[in-house]
């Protein structure tokens, strides 16, 4: 699963955080049909979490949208 690989590479998440990120990622990947978007989804979830979004529902909602730069 890309989210675990990306999160593990970052090396800054504990098991509780990984579980939250995994749940959000799993919900989002069910909405997507293209496998090449999974890395982008994982990156969005992690970026939003690292930006301070800790609530699961809010993280899910915001991670549906492309990152604003």
Please, what is the average pLDDT of the chain?
84
Model confidence at 68, pLDDT cuts 50, 70, 90, reads low
- The per-residue pLDDT for range 39-63, each reduced to its tens digit, is 888 889 999 999 999 999 999 999 9
* Residue that the structure tokens 């749940």 belong to: 23
Global pTM reads: 0.78
- The per-residue pLDDT for range 3-26, each reduced to its tens digit, is 667 666 767 888 899 899 999 999
pLDDT at 69 (0 to 100) = 57
- Determine the Cα–Cα distance for residues 29 and 68; give it in Å rounded to an integer: 20
Tokens matching residue 28:
């989002």
Better-predicted residue by pLDDT, 47 or 67: 47
Element (H, E) at 50: helix 38-50
């Amino acid at each position: 699963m890309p989210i675990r690989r990306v999160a593990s590479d970052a090396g800054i998440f504990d098991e509780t955080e990984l579980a939250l990120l995994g749940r959000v990622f799993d919900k989002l990947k069910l909405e997507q049909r293209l496998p090449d978007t999974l890395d982008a989804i994982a990156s969005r979830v992690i970026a939003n979490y690292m930006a301070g979004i800790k609530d699961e529902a809010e993280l899910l909602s915001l991670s549906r949208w492309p990152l604003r730069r």
